[in-house]
Amino acid sequence: MDKLVIEGGYPLKGEIKVSGSKNATLPILAATLLTDDVCTIRNCPKLRDTMTMIKLLRSLGKTVDMGKDEIIISSKGDLNYIAEYKLVSTMRGSFCVLGPLLAKLGKAKVSLPGGCVIGIRPVDLHIKGIKALGANIEIEGGYVIAKAKHLKGAHVYLGGGFGSSVLATANLMMAAVLTNGETIIESAACEPEIEDLANFLIAMGAKIKGKGTPQIIINGVKKLHGADYKISSDRIEAGTFIVMAAATKSNLVIRNANYSHLLALIDRMEEAGVKFEKDYNVIKVKCAKTLKPTSVTTFPYPGFPTDLQAQFMALMALTPGVSVITDKVYPDRFIHIAELNRMGANIRREGSNAIVEGVKKLYGAPVMASDLRASAALVIAGLAAQGKTEIHRIYHLERGYEELDEKLKFLGAKVYREKE
């Protein structure tokens, strides 16, 4: 196992290209279960989570071939309807095979999911949506077992205690595309990753209206065909580079980035004093020497993403003054506070709020990555800190950032790997 070593204090410079979206890739790969035809998925990021989903597809009976920048999925016979614990337990996104397996085979047995330890993330909305389509669902031995001779369209409210659910919306969409009749999803997730999934399903022959809005209307079809599809860019990776630029007082050019997907972050960054220029799919970040403390509250899209909360906290930890960071999506997503404080930050938690009293400097220290986005926050802190930072358990980082250490080296950072 490797650890990441960062020598802080060096500004970043140059241009970087954002990889394909992790959060779009996983459900789109799962959606290939809906057809027996060949599907080619392009711009797929090379990540641990991508490889886990590929292993899961192969275990379910798909043939998966990997090219330089694409994944080709085909069928070699009958599908297996059981998604095993050893794969699903390592990555929450793999739970989205439930909908397509049930729609294609009339039955599915999927392990309850795992992933990052960022608080309780139940699957009740997934089950509610699938049940509404006429499925019988039982939970037994750590597995969700779903059966249905014929799924039928339904009008489903999918809102939860903390807003809409991206993965539950994806699961229900994939189950609904092969049903009899019309399905209307109210309080659907509006994230760009859901739009990406909808576009892929439409390319396969699905009939979907309302993508990107809280109401998605799906008219079921009897069969889907193969498709050739390009994944959109990863807005969370782009946002992470924006925060890195600000934390290291750097000017960066970020390519293959969709400005409109980052408006909530850019609003808060501009409030803090960061300047931006945009040109089609290029974002230029111009950082001020001195930033202002800025508070933020996470919400489902188009609100400030919970997946950028930890990174933004690392920036505010270096910004003199007091900021309040509130997470309304995952109120327990604050494990990174203790590690940032080890580096000299002054952060305290009060319920779903983090009170950040900015300091002039952070100092390198050995720290432990607890989840994917917390890992990115520690990288940001390490890049800006004085001295050497060692980040352990970087397999979390590898789940969602493609070759991040190599990209940072390209930008001039002093980053390298060492064996534990």
Could you give the residue numbers annotated as active site? 116
Q: What are phi and psi of 249, to 5 degrees?
A: 55, 45
Lateral strand order in the sheet of 2-7: 366-368, 388-392, 2-7, 414-419
Distance CA 19, CA 321 (A): 34
Concatenated DSSP letters of 187-221: T----HHHHHHHHHHHHTT-EEE-TTSSEEEEE--
Token pair 């960054």 in the structure block, residue: 269
Which whole-number Å values give the CA distances from 399 to 21, 44, 48, 64, 130, in the listed order? Answer: 12, 13, 5, 19, 28
What residue has token string 């969602």? 400
DSSP 375: H
How far from chain centre, in Å, is Cα 180?
31
Q: Is the Cβ–Cβ distance between 147 and 136 less than 8 Å?
A: yes
Q: How far apart are CA 134 and CA 52, in angstroms?
A: 30
Integer Cα distance of 288 and 306 in angstroms: 25
Q: Are 155 and 186 in contact (CB under 8 A)?
A: yes
DSSP state of 163: B
Strands 82-83 vs 107-111: parallel, antiparallel or unpaired: parallel
Are 330 and 286 in contact by the 8 Å Cβ rule? The answer is no
Q: Are 237 and 19 in contact (CB under 8 A)?
A: yes
Distance from C-alpha of 110 to C-alpha of 80, rounded to nearest angstrom: 11
Beta strands 275-279 and 39-42: pairing type?
A: unpaired
